[in-house]
């Protein structure tokens, strides 16, 4: 079985040639505190989508990262391509500001059965339908705040399990490792680690085997109510993971 290769090179100022393996990045910004490295994600992304109130965060928070520039200059430079959601959180003046700047507004207030992140991921997948195999969606502001929102975001990456989606906060990263593939995680030690974890999601893992961790798993069963791998430590430059069930991979991020 061919391994699926993962790398957090999108957290580097420049993605090394070949390291991204031809991935095309899209960025979703949620209505939660945005990481200080959001401008770096913005730079690497080809499409930037605000999930409803995420537009408030871009409008309010990004100028704070550039204290020597005028807020209007920062807001002009960091104009989202799309604002999408049920429009219950974005402020009217923010919506009108970006509408006048040419941002596409997609109102899906008729759909109350899916989250704003779900709506944004579906939009991005349709937008990149011809290149979905090389698509990677970065989600800023995905962790922290209300726990039900965090669980909703994790539910989205499980729902769209065939799409690379990475949830990001100031201090951690989460992504799904589908059981249908073996996985190679190439560690960017300058920006991530050493703490990490592997968590079975959706069902117990009858067998998980890893290399490259301080406490490697060897044909290990993991389940909620039993053993899960938390507070593990990255030891190698490459982590390999083989599992009979889907796992969440999480790793700590260094102050960028």
- Could you report the per-residue pLDDT of 145-200, keeping only the tens digit for each? 889 999 999 999 999 999 999 999 999 999 999 998 999 999 999 999 999 999 99
Same domain, yes or no: 249 and 212: yes
pLDDT band with cut points at 50, 70 and 90 for residue 215: very high
131: Cβ contacts below 8 Å, ≥ 6 apart: 24
Residue 111 counted as domain residue: yes
pLDDT band with cut points at 50, 70 and 90 for residue 21: low
Tokens of 8: 């957090």
For the cut 80, the answer to whether the pLDDT of residue 109 exceeds it is no
For the cut 70, the answer to whether the pLDDT of residue 111 exceeds it is no
Residue 91 near residue 83 (C-beta atoms within 8 A): no
Q: Which helix (H) or strand (E) holds 238?
A: strand 238-243
Domain of 107, in residue numbers: 17-170
CA distances from 164 to 60, 88, 147, 233 (A): 29, 28, 22, 23
Same domain, yes or no: 38 and 163: yes
Residue 239 maps to which CATH number? 2.60.120.320
DSSP state of 79: -
Residue 249 near residue 203 (C-beta atoms within 8 A): no
For the cut 80, the answer to whether the pLDDT of residue 24 exceeds it is yes
CA distances from 225 to 41, 203, 232, 243, 252 (A): 36, 12, 18, 18, 24
Q: What is the mean pLDDT of the chain?
A: 92
- Could you report the per-residue pLDDT of 223-247, keeping only the tens digit for each? 999 999 999 999 989 999 999 999 9
67: Cβ contacts below 8 Å, ≥ 6 apart: none
For the cut 90, the answer to whether the pLDDT of residue 256 exceeds it is no
Same domain, yes or no: 183 and 68: no
- Could you report the per-residue pLDDT of 44-103, keeping only the tens digit for each? 999 999 998 999 999 999 999 999 999 999 999 999 999 998 888 899 999 999 999 999
Q: What span, in angstroms and rounded, lies between the C-alpha atoms of 38 and 18?
A: 23
Residue whose C-alpha is closest to residue 118's, from 146, 89, 91, 86 = 86
Same domain, yes or no: 186 and 90: no
Give residue 114's pLDDT. 86
């Amino acid at each position: 079985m061919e391994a699926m290769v993962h790398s957090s090179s999108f957290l580097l100022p420049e993605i090394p040639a070949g390291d991204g393996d031809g991935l095309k990045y899209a960025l979703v910004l949620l209505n939660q505190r945005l990481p200080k490295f959001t401008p770096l994600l913005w730079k690497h992304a080809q499409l930037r989508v605000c999930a409803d109130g995420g537009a408030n965060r871009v409008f309010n928070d990004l100028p704070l990262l550039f204290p020597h520039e005028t807020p209007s200059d920062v807001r002009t430079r960091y104009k989202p391509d799309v604002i999408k959601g049920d429009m219950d959180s974005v402020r009217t003046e923010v919506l009108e500001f970006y509408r006048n700047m040419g941002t596409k507004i997609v109102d899906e207030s008729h759909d109350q059965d899916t989250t704003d992140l779900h709506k944004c991921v579906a939009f991005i997948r349709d937008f990149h339908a011809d290149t979905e195999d090389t698509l990677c969606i970065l989600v800023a502001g995905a962790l922290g705040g209300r726990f039900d929102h965090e669980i909703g975001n994790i539910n989205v990456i499980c729902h769209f399990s065939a799409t690379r989606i990475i949830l990001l906060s100031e201090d951690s990263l989460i992504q799904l490792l589908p059981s249908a593939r073996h996985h190679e995680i190439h560690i960017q030690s300058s920006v991530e680690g050493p703490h990490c974890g592997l968590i079975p999601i959706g069902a117990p893992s009858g067998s998980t085997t890893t290399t490259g961790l301080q406490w490697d798993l060897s044909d290990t069963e993991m389940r909620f109510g039993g053993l899960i791998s938390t507070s593990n430590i990255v030891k190698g430059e490459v982590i390999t993971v083989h599992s009979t069930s889907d796992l969440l991979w999480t790793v700590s991020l260094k102050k960028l």
